[in-house]
Copies of this chain bind each other. A is one copy, B any other.
Amino acid sequence: MSDSSKPTLKGIPVVDTELRQSKYDPPDSPSSVGYTSPQRMQVADENDPLRLECGIDFFPINVEYETYGALSANKDNAILITHALSGDAHAAGWSDEADRTKRPWRSDRPGWWDSMIGPGKPFDTDRYFIICSNVMGSCYGTTGPASTDPKTGKPYGLSFPVVTVNDWVRVQERLVTRLGIEKLVTVCGGSLGGQQAIEWAILYPERVQSVIVLAATPHLMAQGVAFNYAGRHAITSDPNFNNGDYYGQNEPDKGLSVARMIGHITYLSDVSMTSKFGRRFQTSDSRGFNLDTEYQVESYLRHQGESFAKRFDSNAYLYITRAMDYYDASEHGDGDLIKALAPTLCDWMVVSFSSDWLYPPSGSEQLVRALTRTHKAVTYVALESPYGHDGFLLETERLMDIIPSFLSTLELRGKTKRSA
């Protein structure tokens, strides 16, 4: 029964769909941004703390970010890319040697959205200056529960404050401002990244010409909250969890692994799982009459769980899923989404994926309806897709059509000029 002690996958093609690219551009390809290295900026210190939504004045906050392309003299060509639950600042290109040494899992693949960012790609680095930063509470360079609390000299663990999408966006605003950028051409992200785009539009109407919201809804539904809860419960039930104080010891990898399995199922659709795995067995043609990993879908899930536990921090998973639960755009309008969106000034693009049941099209339509009620410029693309929530990462071919045309429409409408 001890699955984890056994060798993993035997000859089964395992695809990490969340990171899969249609094909990888090698670093020397003319369409790759090449080797990249993360940068750090402190955006809150003792003299200038950030008042978090929970009420705490917090510092220090260090942000890890990457940029691709060159900022124009007018500083009017910047785009912010926002990442989802398990993402990081490394959106395009290949990690440089120092980063590969620190984070070896990155060495075999480029940034998580490399297919979309680079010379000649939808987020064309010959034209745009692209920024991607890691969210607060994560474990990929920006201050989070694994960071050292300067007051104690130890990792924060569960003494880290509960951060929100709102906090993340205000951290990003500080970063963008300190990069000298007054107005962004667009903020684009999928899933929890899409919710950050919504929050940008609401918090900083004058600072964004447009937002692109992929596979994201104004809030998570009860079912999603429930799945997050079960995942967090798996982590906190792991005896290695030790109330979040596990750094430098055995980590709650088994619990995190179960949490990731649960999450991963919600990123796929029943259709994609059936077509990808069906009821096929891993190594034999028939049932082995045991309780081990036997079906292909089981070995796939095990691989997802185990590899995630190696690269992610359990506390970060708790904090980020909580931010996911908490987000509700309508709170800016005291529960009224139309009122919440009324002050926004940007052009909107909203894209939903038909088989997404975590952030379903009905939720995207709710957003679009509220926007049209308050007379906003909104382009809604409801994609038919079998890939479930992961569609926003897998339907790159279609996003390659949609996104550049939206960005050029912005230019036609003189929006980019106006900001200059």
Give me the interface of A with B, judged by CB distance under 8 Å: 1-4, 53-55, 158, 161-162, 219-223, 225-227, 229-230, 232-234, 236-239, 241, 243-244, 254-255, 257-258, 261-262, 265, 268, 270, 273-274, 276-279, 287, 289-291, 293, 295, 297-298, 301-302, 305, 318-319, 322, 325-326, 328, 357, 360
A-B contact sample (12 more), CB < 8 A, given A162-B291, A225-B279, A237-B254:
A1-B158, A2-B243, A161-B289, A222-B277, A225-B298, A226-B261, A229-B261, A229-B295, A230-B262, A279-B328, A287-B326, A291-B318
Chain B residues contacting A4 (CB-CB under 8 Å) are 237
Quickly give the copy total for this chain.
2
Complex CA–CA separation, A167 to B357 (angstroms): 36
A295:B325 contact, CB within 8 angstroms:
yes
Listed by A's residue number, 9 A-B pairs whose Cβ atoms lie within 8 Å are: A1-B158, A223-B268, A225-B298, A229-B293, A229-B301, A230-B261, A237-B257, A270-B360, A291-B319
Contact among B222, B265, B326, B328 for A227, CB-based, below 8 A: B265
B278:A222 contact, CB within 8 angstroms:
yes
From A238, A257, A274, A297, residue with most partner B Cβ within 10 Å? A297
Q: Taking CB as reference atom, which chain B residue is nearest A270?
A: B223
Complex CA–CA separation, A161 to B289 (angstroms): 8
Chain B residues contacting A295 (CB-CB under 8 Å) are 222, 225, 229, 325
Q: Taking CB as reference atom, which chain B residue is nearest A321?
A: B291
B318:A236 contact, CB within 8 angstroms:
no
Complex CA–CA separation, A293 to B240 (angstroms): 21
With A223-B265, A234-B234 as given contacts, are A1 and B258 in contact (CB-CB < 8 Å)?
no
Q: Taking CB as reference atom, which chain B residue is nearest A235?
A: B1
Q: Distance in Å from the Cβ of A317 to the closest Cβ of chain B?
A: 11
B53:A298 contact, CB within 8 angstroms:
no
A222:B161 contact, CB within 8 angstroms:
no
Complex CA–CA separation, A54 to B290 (angstroms): 9
B233:A270 contact, CB within 8 angstroms:
no
Contact among B162, B238, B261, B301 for A290, CB-based, below 8 A: B162
Contact among B222, B287, B357 for A279, CB-based, below 8 A: B222
Complex CA–CA separation, A274 to B326 (angstroms): 16
Chain B residues contacting A1 (CB-CB under 8 Å) are 158, 236, 241, 243-244, 318
Chain B residues contacting A233 (CB-CB under 8 Å) are 3, 257-258, 261, 302, 305
B221:A273 contact, CB within 8 angstroms:
yes
Chain B residues contacting A318 (CB-CB under 8 Å) are 1, 291
Chain B residues contacting A298 (CB-CB under 8 Å) are 225-226, 229
B229:A289 contact, CB within 8 angstroms:
no
Chain B residues contacting A237 (CB-CB under 8 Å) are 4, 234, 238, 254-255, 257-258
Complex CA–CA separation, A279 to B217 (angstroms): 14
Q: Distance in Å from the Cβ of A259 to the closest Cβ of chain B?
A: 9
Chain B residues contacting A54 (CB-CB under 8 Å) are 289
From A55, A274, A295, residue with most partner B Cβ within 10 Å? A295
With A273-B221, A326-B287 as given contacts, are A301 and B265 in contact (CB-CB < 8 Å)?
no
Complex CA–CA separation, A356 to B318 (angstroms): 30
Chain B residues contacting A326 (CB-CB under 8 Å) are 287
A226:B291 contact, CB within 8 angstroms:
no
